[in-house]
């Protein structure tokens, strides 16, 4: 499941959307924990224990995201001139660590039950509750996907990854509960728990990479860089673009570049050209923070040239989360 390309939206609207979805995420986590705890008490299923442990960690991760998006939305201050946007990536990093821990715990429990299988009881109750959690989780993932279309928030993407994995895990759990309770094969229940663990470990690896890319200032995708360059070069008075540097800070795309202008332009004229170029980029990336330096044509330090070879469909977005993380939801 890839993160959808966000549609243009104001930064204030994006922050409001992330605050709303994180409140919903915490509420759903509480409901899922209560339901799965009841199902575990009724069945003793290791795969339900696995998803309960995952939901507890989901709760911790959702609370982390809840506070992180509010911190990231705080305006720049004296000590954080670029704002606090990277708080979202820190949240995703914490989430990845929690999922790794959950995967190890679930795998250990599954291996233990394979060698020491225990009967699964109250299969009907357990199955009914698992079905209910699947429906609730699917609804939350859909709501988070709608928010991602508006914001591209890396923190919400990490939170959705938790619940997308939880959704698939619950399907596996349902298979395990039915097999153990109705088919008399409790070993399949333990195997289902191990499948969940592998699923979570794979997804956590992708989350960790995405968060690290964000924190280490990985450039935005080539499609976005080409679209930025094409927008700037749309004015024939701009002869070239070089030293283009991009990175993400939360939902804000930071863009810096040098442009080549006629050496005989007045300062006022050069300023007007630069402002117009910034506005063309902002039309495609409304949440961008742009800094353009004007160089006299032919007098800039030699740098690799950046052409306007744009992608077939330049993406219009307030923020891009970089390459999609590899994992079961990518």
CB atoms within 10 A of CB 200: 31
pLDDT of residue 170: 73
Positive or negative torsion for Cα 23, 73, 80, 244? positive
Identify which of 14, 307, 283 has the alpha carbon closest to the alpha carbon of residue 148.
14
**β-strands 289-296, 240-249 pairing:** unpaired
Of residues 308 and 254, the one with the higher pLDDT is 254
Boundaries of CATH 3.30.70.1350 in the chain? 222-296
Cα gap 247→249, rounded to integer Å? 7
pLDDT of residue 89: 84
Domain with residues 222-296, CATH architecture: 2-Layer Sandwich (3.30)
Positive or negative torsion for Cα 96, 101, 105, 108? positive
Digit-coded pLDDT (tens) for 92-134: 888 788 778 777 877 887 787 777 766 655 556 667 777 888 8
Digit-coded pLDDT (tens) for 251-290: 788 999 999 999 998 999 999 999 999 999 999 998 889 9
pLDDT of residue 261: 95
Length of the chain, in residues: 330
Digit-coded pLDDT (tens) for 167-224: 777 776 677 667 766 666 666 767 777 887 887 788 788 888 888 888 888 999 999 9
Provide the CATH topology of domain 11-215.
Alpha-lytic protease prodomain-like (1.20.1510)
Boundaries of CATH 1.20.1510.10 in the chain? 11-215
Question: Across 187-251, where does the E strand assignment appear?
Answer: 240-249
CB atoms within 10 A of CB 254: 18
pLDDT of residue 77: 79
Asked whether the predicted pLDDT for residue 153 surpasses 70, the reply is: yes
pLDDT of residue 126: 65
Identify which of 244, 279, 237, 239 has the alpha carbon closest to the alpha carbon of residue 258.
244
pLDDT of residue 308: 44
Q: What is the arithmetic mean of pLDDT over 9-13?
A: 65
Cα gap 198→184, rounded to integer Å? 24
pLDDT of residue 254: 92
């Amino acid at each position: 499941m890839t993160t959808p390309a966000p549609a243009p939206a104001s930064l204030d609207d994006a922050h409001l959307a992330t605050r709303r979805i994180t409140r919903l995420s915490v509420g759903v986590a509480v409901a899922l924990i209560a339901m799965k705890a009841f199902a575990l008490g009724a069945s003793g299923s290791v795969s339900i224990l696995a998803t309960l442990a995952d939901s507890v960690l989901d709760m911790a991760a959702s609370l982390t995201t809840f506070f992180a998006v509010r911190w990231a939305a705080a305006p720049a201050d004296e000590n954080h001139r670029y704002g606090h946007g990277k708080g979202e990536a820190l949240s995703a990093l914490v989430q990845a660590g929690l999922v790794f821990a959950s995967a190890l715990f679930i795998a250990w429990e599954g291996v233990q039950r394979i060698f020491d299988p225990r009967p699964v009881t109250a299969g009907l109750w357990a199955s009914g509750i698992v079905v209910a959690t699947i429906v609730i989780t699917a609804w939350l993932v859909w709501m988070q996907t709608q928010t991602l279309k508006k914001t591209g928030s890396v923190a919400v993407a990490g939170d959705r990854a938790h619940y997308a994995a939880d959704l698939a895990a619950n399907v596996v759990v349902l298979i395990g509960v039915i097999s153990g309770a109705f088919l008399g094969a409790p070993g399949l229940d333990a195997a289902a728990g191990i499948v969940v663990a592998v699923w979570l470990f794979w997804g956590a690896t992708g989350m960790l990479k995405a968060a690290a890319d964000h924190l280490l200032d990985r450039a935005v995708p080539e499609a976005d860089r080409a679209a930025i360059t094409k927008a700037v070069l749309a004015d024939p008075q701009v002869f070239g673009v070089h030293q283009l540097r991009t990175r993400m800070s939360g939902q804000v795309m930071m863009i810096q570049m040098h442009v080549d202008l006629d050496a005989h332009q007045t300062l006022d004229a050069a300023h007007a050209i630069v402002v117009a170029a910034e506005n063309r980029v902002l039309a495609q990336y409304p949440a961008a923070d742009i800094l353009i330096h004007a160089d006299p044509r032919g007098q800039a330090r030699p740098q690799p040239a950046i052409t306007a070879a744009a992608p077939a469909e330049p993406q219009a977005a307030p923020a891009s989360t970089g390459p999609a993380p590899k994992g079961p939801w990518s």
